[in-house]
Structures are given as structure tokens and as C-alpha cells.
Structure 1
């Protein structure tokens, strides 16, 4: 086990760093003075030293001077609340590996320590790689698949600090969400969805066969190099064009990888989905190549396992995780009150959100200027500029705010009296988490997913739904002026799906590690 000595006279900070390292499987000792540090370092032969500059009985850099000459290969991190050119030059003369100015993010310190220990030193040698998790999302029209995986990845590296998560994404915009230390992504060539199970290259001017070949090559090489302990596949059990099947078969033959299918609560019409899965071999893939199925939803809202026959495919291995969404302390809202004064209109990913944003703006234009509510519109990062530009111009004419994207949707929801959005998984669950009254205008097609979600949630009093066929500026304007949530939702839906999925993955990683240790002990014996 690697050993790290922390030289810090501020008791709380020293204890927090030591606790963080212990959770990472690193032995940590704290010295509160130069005298204690000298004795501890001489006796322990540490693999890494973290030292404050100003200590009660001396200077941390001077204290390490003589020892550093005899141990030039041991990484040293100097930290101080007095960031100055003088201290930086002194740390450089000590040949310190890194210099941190207080305050610093504990997550960044953890990541720095893992990197330095993994590079090897004169003590225990290289630290073995931590658990490896690969996540796949094909990503075409929206951001939901990638968003769920990114949320679970963030929760996982908090639970398992030495884990590495590699996300394989096909989103045309690349990775649009902030990644935590320990998480990275590989971009697959982007696809456009033409209809149910029909795709084509969205940017490359090459054939679908060539695009498939490129994507499969990237997946194969990444899997071979990364050697994931866990593979989490979102939504498409066989991948686009069955691109995952060879990789899944290889992993099954090789062993050592637990493969999990993650599904949002509603996929499409249940009967159609079951028939297509059987005809296209997806059901067989789940039976033969997957170890578990996670459903990111609530059985009371939509019994996915029953409707899609998941329990017959993987009996006893289907788990409802709850909804994967951003959770925070949302403001309490009155059930009854005045008409909404601030309306938020969200296009989700934005690829097909133009009708909703356009109708909302035209509805605003029909309201007398002295009665108009404030309005903020978010187009979404995937909306084409030729569509977003006229919407932005119309918003300026009407005095509305227009954003192409946002990095803090929960904050905007907290200040909104009403949300108008499509029926995508992320958009709707974020609204429920924020307790924001919501009008859902589901996508017309090609899938029935959004319509089914809107109907289920409306039936439980969680949202109001208006179909796009019935959508008009006049009807929407009436709701803007009169909308009130008159009754409380019938159920509280679980919104901790990312944490629960991460906990289940962490448990699998722990079990796999114990199985490996037991096997090694038996082999050695």
C-alpha cells in the first residue's frame, strides 16, 4: 500500500487530506510540525510527501531540503496559503513536483496524487491501475444517453476515487457536460437518425458501411487497451448497426468484464419494442451478453420491466434505479397563486425543438405588452444555426432572453414559474426535481417515447401535456396567462438514479476485486 506523509499544522485540513487518501486505499500519516515530520519521514520512507510552507516550528521547504537531496525521485507537493514568487522559486529549487496555492479543490489534489503515485517511485513502485469502467452512448438526436452516463460517471468516481471512466460518445457536439477528474471520453463519428433503427453519417461524406467500420475499430481498440472491469451500455443493447456485438462477444469469451445495460424508463411503444428486439437480435444479445439491466425510472410511473419483457430476458437481474437527474434543494412552490411571471422554454438538446420555441414566442406576441410575462428560451446545443438565428431575432423583438445553451439548468428552473419543454427524459426529470410547474409538448415521432412519458406523468399530476398537433400560439398564450398547478403530484418519484447506479457498480467492482484476490490466493497456495 502506498504511503503518503502530510506535513500540515492546520488540523482540519490535514485530517481531511488524510481521510481522502485513506478512502483511495493509500496509507496516510499527518505530521503537525517540522520536528514530527523529520522523524516520521526518516522512519517511514514515504512514497510521496505533501508539505505546508509555514509551520509552527519552522519552514516546510527548509525542513525537506537535506532529505530531498537523498531522495530526488520521491514526489513532493508543496502547498501554502501565501502564494508568492519567492515561495514558488524556493519550491522550484527544492525540485518540488507540484505547487498548490490554498485553497484548492480536494478532487484536484486526489487526482494529482494518483497520477504521481502511478508514475512509480523508489518506494513501492508503480501503483496498480484502479478499476476501469467504460460507458457507451450512441447519441443522435438528443443528449439524454450521454447525460445519464456522465451523471453516473461523476457519482462513481466520488464513490471509487481511484476509478477511471472512459466514455464512448457519438454526440455531434462532443462532450458538452463537465467531466470530473478520472473521467474522459472518446468521440465516435457522429450519426443522424432517419427513423426507427435507421442511421446515416451526419458529418462525414462517406458510406454508412465505412462509418460503421470506423466506429467499430475505435470501440475495439479502446476496449482492448482499456480492459474495462465494467461496461455500461446505454439504450442500444447491440449498438448502432450491431457495432457492439463483436466487442461484447470478445469480452464474454475473455472474461473479467461485467456488462450492464442501462435503459431509460420509456423506450418506445412496448409491443413494437419487444417485437423489434426479437427480430433484430437485441433480445438475444441481452440474454447472452449482459449480466444486468438498470432501469432509470420508477415502476409506479412506468413498469418498464413488465412492458418490455426485461425480467424474461435477465430474470432476477433487473433493477429500478430511480431517475438520473440533477438534484438540489429546490424552492418550495405554492400550488395556487398568480399567473406565471417568468416562463422558461427549453429545447432540450435542440435538434427538433424549433416548433416548441417558435410557438412559445408567437404565443408571447399575442399577449398585450403590459401583461406579458418574462420569457427565457434555451435553444439547445444541437439546434442548427439557420433555425436558431431567426428565433433569437424574434426573441429580441419581443424582449425575451434567448440562450443557445446553459451549463446551469437547475438555477434557471429555480427562478421560473413555468417551464415549457419537450418530453425528453432529461428535460422532464430536471423539471420534476426542481418542482417547477411544467407544460410538456412531446415530440411527434419517430418514437412514441415522449408521448408515453407525457401521458404517464400527466396522469400522476406531475406535468401538463399538450400534443404538437393541438399546439397553437393562442392555446399556449391562454396557459401562460392562466396556468396554475391546482393539485399536488400523486407520488414522489425517486431522483437519485445516478447515485444508486454508481453504488451498484461500485459494489460489483468490489465483489470482482475480492473474487480476483481469492483466486490469486488459491492459485498461490
Structure 2
């Protein structure tokens, strides 16, 4: 350690750069990890002395390249059953044991990494409350800023209020978090609608705008024209993929061709059946299993058919592509709320199960309409994609309130 007699120049030399830790529980899909990765990349790019560590439960975290000075630690995985309950991915461990293991690892990393800023994605107390020991530790230490980051839509207000009450999330938000960042715009949707947050907490809320996707150097996209078909992680995308393939099967004149990205979580058996159908279409549909640089495919697409997850929506906006969103409605209405509001604003079109019907004819019509559909930028522009710029400014402001830590 440095003695009190050391000179100020020595202290300056040993001052360490800012450290940001991001928690992303990731029990299913890719959304939380990709959002944390985008945030970490922007923060470290804005400050060449900063580093970031992402704690994630995603089973595919290792397939992604991470930016310079960004690393990740994989937490023991859990899976969500069809009945809504959870189970451990680790053989021989109960969900309680796995949660306790994850919680201990998170607290240990908070202790050892000693972040200046902790950014928590979506869940104020973490998966099954696993984050609470780390929050208590950092709060007691008193030299870390704690931030809760929320996507633009969480769920129906009544459902969300019940969920947060059950998880004691309101109390945790009131007690621990210095700021709440909402990765959207108040003029589009308020995800905290229905939550009994105090005026004091609401004063700590910052609307960032949506998180722009990296538009840096890209690979050469496939031969054009084509429509990009992406169900996100793919775990719940079989219905949409089936609908697209049925449209191309039933209408031999449907154009342009489709480039389909299955996603890493679309099951092998289901994917094999789809591949048989794709082969019969003789090149009118081509497929990719998992594309960590899906940005390249977005860049060359004439239009996009996708589900309504937050990250895919940000990609549609960032690449300014006409899009048809096919939103899931279970287990949450999140995607439907996002898609219906975006359609109202003219940002996208939506294929709604009740209004339009999920039929091959409806999908064919939607794909054909992409050729003349307006780009999102023609409907909305002011502040829409300022999220990453806002986040880096907030991090800088939070760091200014903290005493500089020195390297040990």
C-alpha cells in the first residue's frame, strides 16, 4: 500500500483507471448479454483508461468477441422450464444450490474487482435475489455508484407491479440504486408505469434513448437483394421461422430471397426439419446458424422480418431498415407492447396474431410490402438513438462524484 508520505506525483502514477462492472442474469436468450456488451464497449471507448467486467449467465457468452478492456465471467447457468420454473444447467445441483453459488461468485467479484460503477440489467435484486449480498457489500463500502438499467418495455403495468412486489424489487431500488437508466424515450413508453416508486427515486431516473448498434467496419454482406429473417436468440422463434418458410413454399413468386439466421437456441431437431424445407426451396431461402456479427447481415438487407426483442429493435433502428415485427405474447407482452407502439409511430409494421392472423398469406403480404415501406428515420429522429452517448456521459458524471482509487 502507499504510505501517507508518498508524493502526489507517485499517487497520480498509481491511480487506477475507472472500473465498471455489469450484471446480466441471462437465464434465457441473448438480450441481456448483448445489451451489457454494447454498454461496456461504449464506456471503454469513451474513456481509454476505463475497463469493464460483465457477469453473465449466458451459455453462449464465449462465442462473442468482446471489445478491448472488456472481459466477462460466466456464472453457472440455469434454464427456464415451460411451466415458468427454473432448473440448474449444472448436473447434480438444485436451483437453490446453483443460486447460492452464483450469489457467492457475484459478491466475490464485487469484492475483488471493486468497481467504481455497477450497472445492473433489468432485475433490481438479480435472479432469485442473488445480487443482494453484492449490493449490500458495495453499499456499505460506500465508494461505488449503483445503477439499475431498464429496457424500454418490461411488461404490462399490472403484471410488472405484482412481479416487483413479489421480488421486493421496489424496496431494493429505493435502498440501493443511485440512478435508474431507461434505455428508451418517455415519449414512446414508460416501463415503470404502474410501479409504486417514490418521487425521490423517480428524480434519479434518466431517459437515455435507444442503444445504437455499432456501425463500424463491416464484412461484405451476401448477394443482394435479400430480406433478413431473425428470431433473435431463436429459443422461441420456431413459429416465426415456420411462417416465413410457409410463405415462400406457398408463393413461388415471393421475392426477394430470404437470409435466415436461426439463432443459437433454436433446437437441433426443429432446425433439422427446417433445413429440409430450406433445401427444397432451392436457394430462395439461405440459412445461418449463429452470427455474432449479425450487423453485416443487417447492413445489406432490403428489409427485416423479426421478433420484437429490445436488441433486434435497436438494430432495426440503427441500420434504418424497414421491418415487420412478429411479437411473441407469452410469457410476457413486452414484445407486443413495443411493436404496437412502434407501429403507431410509423417506425415499423407489425404482424399481429389477432388483427392480421399468423398465416402464410399474411406473411407473404408483409414481406412484399417491405419494398415500399418507409425507413424508421422518416418517422422519428430526435434523440431516438442517443442511448450510448447518454450512458457514457452519466458514467463520467458518476465518476466525478467518487474519490479516485489507487492501485494496490
Length-normalised TM-score, structure 1:
0.68
Map 1:483-502; keep pairs closer than 5 Å.
483=370, 484-485=372-373, 489-492=378-381, 494-502=384-392
1:246-291 deviation line (CA, Å, top 9, x unaligned): 2211221121111000000100111221232133210000000111
1:414 corresponds, among 299, 316, 319, to 299
Structure 2 unaligned regions, length at least 5: 1-8, 218-223
Question: Secondary structure of 1:219's match?
Answer: helix
Map 1:365-404; keep pairs closer than 5 Å.
365-368=249-252, 370-398=253-281, 399=283, 400-404=285-289
1:366-406 deviation line (CA, Å, top 9, x unaligned): 112x5542110001122222222222332222122100122
Distance 1:392 1:482, change over 3 A: same
Please identify, of 198-207 and 292-301, the stretch whose mean Cα deviation from structure 2 is larger.
198-207
Aligned equivalent of 1:448 = 333
Distance 1:482 1:241, change over 3 A: closer
**Rounded Cα–Cα distance in structure 2 between residues aligned with 1:371 and 1:300:** 37
Distance 1:174 1:313, change over 3 A: farther
2:323 corresponds, among 434, 438, 447, to 438
Aligned equivalent of 2:233 = 349
How many residues in Structure 1 have an aligned counterpart in Structure 2? 385
**Rounded Cα–Cα distance in structure 2 between residues aligned with 1:404 and 1:323:** 27
Instruction: Give how far 1:197 is off.
Output: 7.2
Distance 1:247 1:475, change over 3 A: same
Instruction: Give how far 1:210 is off.
Output: 0.9
1:426-461 deviation line (CA, Å, top 9, x unaligned): 111211221211110111210110010011101101
Aligned equivalent of 1:142 = 29
Distance 1:205 1:454, change over 3 A: farther
Q: Do structure 1's residue 232 and structure 2's residue 125 form an aligned pair?
A: no
**Rounded Cα–Cα distance in structure 1 between residues aligned with 2:346 and 2:33:** 28
Aligned equivalent of 2:242 = 358
Please identify, of 466-475 and 133-142, the stretch whose mean Cα deviation from structure 2 is larger.
466-475
Instruction: Give how far 1:199 is off.
Output: 2.5
Distance 1:313 1:240, change over 3 A: farther
Aligned equivalent of 1:162 = 49
Q: Do structure 1's residue 428 and structure 2's residue 313 form an aligned pair?
A: yes
Please tell me the root mean square deviation across aligned C-alpha atoms, in Å. 2.6
Q: Is the 8 A contact 2:55 2:73 kept in 1?
A: yes
**Rounded Cα–Cα distance in structure 1 between residues aligned with 2:172 and 2:30:** 25
**Rounded Cα–Cα distance in structure 2 between residues aligned with 1:513 and 1:237:** 25
Q: Do structure 1's residue 472 and structure 2's residue 353 form an aligned pair?
A: no
Q: Is the 8 A contact 1:454 1:465 kept in 2?
A: yes
1:182 corresponds, among 44, 49, 69, to 69
**Rounded Cα–Cα distance in structure 2 between residues aligned with 1:227 and 1:367:** 59
Instruction: Give how far 1:162 is off.
Output: 1.8
Q: Is the 8 A contact 1:191 1:202 kept in 2?
A: yes
Q: Is the 8 A contact 1:327 1:496 kept in 2?
A: no
**Rounded Cα–Cα distance in structure 2 between residues aligned with 1:204 and 1:261:** 32
**Rounded Cα–Cα distance in structure 2 between residues aligned with 1:298 and 1:179:** 28
| Structure with more relative contact order (C-alpha pairs < 8 Å, separation 6 or more) | 2
**Rounded Cα–Cα distance in structure 1 between residues aligned with 2:310 and 2:198:** 23
Please identify, of 352-361 and 371-380, the stretch whose mean Cα deviation from structure 2 is larger.
371-380
User: Would you identify which runs of 4 or more consecutive aligned residues in structure 1 move more than 6 Å?
Assistant: 123-126
Map 1:37-48; keep pairs closer than 5 Å.
none
**Rounded Cα–Cα distance in structure 2 between residues aligned with 1:195 and 1:259:** 33
Q: Is the 8 A contact 2:152 2:182 kept in 1?
A: yes
Q: Do structure 1's residue 276 and structure 2's residue 156 form an aligned pair?
A: no
Structure 1 unaligned regions, length at least 5: 1-26, 28-122, 331-339, 518-525
Map 1:484-523; keep pairs closer than 5 Å.
484-485=372-373, 489-492=378-381, 494-513=384-403
**Rounded Cα–Cα distance in structure 2 between residues aligned with 1:126 and 1:491:** 47
Question: Secondary structure of 1:299's match?
Answer: coil
